[in-house]
Structure 1
Amino acid sequence: MLVSSGLTAGRPAFAADSHRTQRAARRTARSIAVRAQKEEAAKGWKFDGSMQRWVRDDRFAGKSLTTVQPLSGTAYTVWPVMWDYLNSKGLKQVEEEEALAMVNKGAVVVDVRLASDYKNEHIAGAISVPMFRETAGNEGWDKVKRFVMGSLAMKATERDPDFLANMEKAIKNKRQQIIVACAVGGTLETVVRVASTGKSAKDPDRSFGRETRSLKACYELMQAGYTNVVHLKGGLSNWRYNGYPTESS
Structure 2
Amino acid sequence: MKTDLDDNQDLSKQIAEAIRNAIVEGSLIVDQRLPSEAELCEKFDVGRSTVREALKRLAAQNLIRTQRGATGGAFVNRMSFEDAYEQQITTSTLLLSMNSVDFETACEARYALERSCAPLSTQRRTADHMATMRAEIHRQSQPGLTDEAFCASDVAFHRALVDGAGNPVLSYQLAGAVEAMQPLMNMITYTQRDRERIVGLHTRLADAIEARDGTGAERILTELADYTADLGRRRAEITNTRPAK
Q: Normalising by the residue count of structure 1, what TM-score does the alignment of the two structures yield?
A: 0.30
Q: Name the one with the larger strand percent.
A: 1
